[in-house]
Structures are given as C-alpha cells and as structure tokens.
Structure 1
Amino acid sequence: MGTRPVTDRLHGQLPPVAMLPWLASLLLPAVRANALGATALGAFALTYGIAVWLVLNKRGPSRAPIALAVLLTTIALTCAREFGDFWYLPMPFVFAVWSLITVDYGAPLVNVIGVLVVHLLGVWVGSDAPPIVIGAFLTFLAGMLTFVVLRLSRAVAELEAAREELAHTAVGQERQRFARDLHDLLGHTLSLVVVKAEAVRRLIPRDPAKAQDQAADIEAVGRRALAEVRQAVSGYREPSLPEELAGARAALVAAGVTAELPDPGELPAAAPPVLGWVVREGVTNVLRHARARRCLIDLHTVDGTTVLTITNDGTTPTKTPITWGNGLNGLTERVHSAGGELTATPTPAGFTLRVSVPTGEQP
C-alpha cells in the first residue's frame, strides 16, 4: 500500500476524543496544588489536547506536534514540584504524546526512556521509592498502550482497504466473465443468424419452401439466444459439448461449408465442459473470417488429456501475424483456468485451433 506520513496514515483511525478522558486524573493534583501548580496543570492539559488533535487530525508532516510535545515535557519537568505527591501524573500523558509522534520511529525505545526520566524526576523532587515505581509503571504502560492501539488501528484500516480492493477486483473479474460470456454467446448466434439470412436471400427466388425453413431456423436460433442470455444474466452457464457440436454442424452446413465432426455417441465420457466453448468460438471464427469450404473437428483423449482440433481450409495468409481478438483472448482464459493449453496457427492449407485439457470435470 506504500509508505505514507504517519499523520496521514493515522488520520481518522483513532479519534482525538479517545485520548482526552484520562485528563480527569489530573483533577486531584490540581485541587491540592497551589495556584502556580494549578495553572501549570491547566496549561499542561490544554497543550496535551492540542498536540493530540494535531497528530491525529492533520495530514502530512508537521513540526507543530513535536514543538507541543517538547512544551508538554518542559511543563511537566519544571513544575513537577508544584504537583505535590502526584508529581508523576503528567508523565504518562507526556509519553503518550511522544508515542503518537514516534509510532513509526521507535516508540518502544522512547517509552523506555520515559521510565528513566520518571526515575530521575523522582530523585529530583525527593520522592520515595513507591511513587517512583508507580510513576514509571504508569508512564511505560500509557506510552506502550498508545503505541499498540495505534498499530492495531492501522492494521484494521489496512485490512479494510485490502477487503475493499478485493471486492473491487472481484467485481472487475465478474464483469470480464460476463462480457466474455456475452461475446461468446451472441457472437456465435449472430454469426449463425447472418449465415441463415444470406441463405434465405439466396433461396427465396428459386426455392421458397427451403427459404421458409431457413427463416424458421432463424426464429429458433433467436429464441435460443434469448434463453442463453437469460441464463448468462441469472448465473454461470456451461455449454453442452454435444449441443455445441450439433449447432456447429447446422451452422457450417447452412454456410455451405463441408463439416466433418465427431458423432455425439463417440464423444469421451469425461470430456471437459470448456470444450463446448472452444467449439462455439472456433466455429464462429470459421464462419466470420475463414471463407472456408471444409471444416474438420477432431476430438480424442490421450494419456488423460482431451485434445480438440478445429481445422479449416480458409484463406488465412500464413505471413500475416494472427490478431487475437476478444473471442480468442476470452477462450484462452477459459482454457487456462481449466488447466489446459491453446494454440492457434495458420497453415498453408488454412487455419488450425488446437486445445488440450486434462480429462475430467474442470472448475
């Protein structure tokens, strides 16, 4: 996610108000302190609140929080004698602020230094050992809790960002899948409609009866396309290999292409479902681009791998690089997701599409 300034990363993750209620612990020393001590505590509390707000709400690097942290430390050290028996209470607030500022730059070490500072301060004010130990413990605890909470808040924020990114990625993948399905479904169907419409146009003058049959086929193809689009919209649809072969035979014959296809009864029992998409897209490309007179589809299984080959004798120039459009790109994604391989190569006699996929049900 990249490295950003600490103030930017913490923005909005920990509200400043969460750091303020503990100021109530300063009320007791403020009541017992003299006028100078009470004034010092008031200035201390105000400086603490501003420093916390600046660190947690301001984006980008700023020297103001560091300056306020220095002022906060100075007030706590110079006025410690005025706080009476509670000389150590400001120190947890001081090092909580330093933890906010140094969360990326060694906050645990800063809090260890805080323990040492409390011990030296206790000696300077002439305190007994128990208050020194209590003050050191509270200072270290406050600083480390601040450090841990900030790190946890950041981790939660990064997890939320990662979850949103995954959601956006999933949406994008679903859009690609849906676009690919529509391309494969409608590309084949519309190509077949165009071929049959051309047949109707040719047959009307000389054989109206056959033209009527072809027109009926166009209607049937249109109805089937509507049903397939509805299935694609409502959920994922895997085409049936026998159905695709039957549709490919009808489309090729209507286009005047000699079709040599496997008999449905000879198909491998465990033929992968993705081969239905291969037949659909391969035959669509033959009808659209090849201007072929003969199309051969061969399907066989060798050593646990099903191999499908679609060969035509179209006019694909062997010296022209193959342009992979949406159809072949989408088909390649399908085959790769099924653990297979796809090759599409021009030959001196036409064009060959070859797909090999592990036998069995594929995801």
Structure 2
Amino acid sequence: MARVVNVDEYEDLARVKMPKMYYDFYAGGAEDKWTLRENRSAFSRIRIRPQVLVDVSHTDLTTSVLGLKIACPIMVAPTALHKLAHPEGELATARATAAANTVMVVSTSSSHTIEEIADTGPGIRFFQLYIFNKVRAMELVARAEKAGYKAIVLTVDTPILGRREDDLRNRLVLPPDVSMKLIDGIGEQHSQPTEPGSSLAAVASEYKDKSITWKDVQAFMKLTKLPFLLKGILTKEDALKAIDICVDGIIVSNHGGRQLDHVPATISVLEEVAITRNSCYVVAAAAGRCPVFVDGGIRRGTDVFKALALGASGVFVGRPVLFGLAIDGEQGVKKVLDMLKDELRTTMVIAGCPTLAHINRSSVQTPEEKPSSKL
C-alpha cells in the first residue's frame, strides 16, 4: 500500500478486490451516469490563479465547523454499509477519522449502530438522518444526541432511491452478516428480491416517507439542541428556504450522482448557493452563520482548494474513503484523508495561500470568466 500515491489508485485496487455487486453499489450512479461523471469533470474546467512571491514558509489548514476545531476542511461524508468494504466497517472508519482529527458523518444506513460507533473512542461525529418513518427518526435523533454526536444532517434529496441500474442489473442483496443496523426490522422481507431489481431499492420505495416537507424539517429541528444541517440542496431557491427556517448549515450535494441524473455538478452550483448565503445575512430573518459545504467528485487537493475559493466552508468525501477502507481498513481511510490534506497543503503553498483565509474568489477562474486582459 506504500505505493498508492493518490486516492484514485485505491479505487482501481478496490475494483479488482471487491465482489462486483458491492463495488458497483459504491461506484455506480443513476441511469446514464451523466451527473456522476460531471461531478468529476466540472472540477477540471476550473482554473487556479496562483499568486507568487508570497511568504508560505508556514501554513495552517485548521478550521472550525459549527464551532468545532478540526485539522483541515476535509470531512467524511455519510455513506452506507461500510461492512461491504471491510469486516470492521464504520468502526474502522470512525477510528481513522478521529486520528485525522476531522468530522465523520455516520449514515442511517450504517452497518453498525450509533452507539457501537461512538464506543470506538473520542472523535467528532455527526449523524445523517433518513426518515423511514417519523417515530423511528425521532428515536434516532435522540440516540445520536445521547451518544455524543455533534450535529444532525438531514438528507433531503431521497424521497425514493434513484434508478441505479447497476444495482438493478446485479439484483443487489446483502450478505448474511451485513445489515442496516439502525433500520433493522424494516423491510426484512426484501432481503432477497423476488423479481429482478435491488433489495435496497425495494425497501426504500416501500418504506421511505415521501410526505416530508419544510414544515416537517422545522418540527425535527425542535426535537434536538444539536445543530441541524440539510444535505441535498442544489438551487438558490432551496438555499433561501433553508436559511429562512434557520438551519445551521447547508451541504450542496447531488447524492454523488446517485439520485436524479442530469442535475448539475455540485461544484457548478456551489457559488450560486454560497452567494445566496452571504447576501441573506442582511435580508433574511436568519441571523448568524449558515456555512455552506459541498460533496461530490472530490478526488484531489486541488478540488478542495477550488471548492473553498467558490464559497465552501469545507468539503465532504465519500467514495474515496470506502475504497481506502476496502483495501487497507482503518489505515486505508487514514491514508486517503492524509493524501487529500497533503495535496491541499501543496496547492496552497504553490498558489500563494499560507492559510485558508487567503483562499478567495480571485484564487480561481471558472469557465464563464474570461482571463483579464489588463497588464
């Protein structure tokens, strides 16, 4: 594993090592996978504008998220069923994330319980919430708060699962020793699909609450004292609604290209949402901060740099963590986070940005902008 020098190489190894059904579950996207590919390619169209002759002898990547200090603005996104990648599943991911001194968002679709993951030791953990039914969701929020989780992240773009054709083709089923521990008992009859399709899609289609609205979000926010973030915002209109109900943070996300195909790449709409955030400090009733984060397609430190320049307070990475876990367990996750952090530091130094505060809108050029002709 010492020869792995970037996160894509972990995916190459995982493609060979993992059973095809489970690799496809992690790697796949919705329908034609246009958005899945666009999440990556959109980053390549953004150019970095380096500043030279800047004192970069000392660099600082530390930042605060919801008042919590972390080592760098690279965090672990919520992803399902880590035990498909490694026997220790989310327990190994949690230990590695804590060692990297950053945030792990634990999924409702985890293969370990909230409490088991908390028992791995100290660490900053958020809990990502799916609403299969409102009573169960309320119980999960209470359990997360009791177990020491620091925030709730409600995913809002999944009334049903997107059409993930690899899973349908593979007739995705879970092995006997793996289950979604937090929703055990829901949809057990779908453990083996009775017709071509994915068992997980069958569960989601039958049991996900499709009636959730902004009013329900407000009700859930009142259930906890924890900060409340919304994940799955892609438009300024929804960003404004989120700010109006005083959420504590927004995650710009298209679910890794796994839900609705042909929506834009997250980096392409990040600035629209981030600018909405800034302008609403004055005009909206939601006083105080509403940081904007982003996930989707982040594979390089340069990607992180570009996201920060376009208004993100931090980024979340998903698939690279899973593939690092698949190949080298806890150490693989730690190495993925370390590689991205080291790449970000290198980018900052060469671009003339010794601290995160030095990264700003002038640090990048988007496809819509023409290079300045002024001398």
Sort the TM-score into its range (normalised by shorter chain). Answer: under 0.3
Query: Does 1 or 2 have the higher relative contact order (CA < 8 Å, sep 6+)?
Result: 2
Report the TM-score, using the length of structure 2 for normalisation.
0.18
Rg: which structure is higher? 1
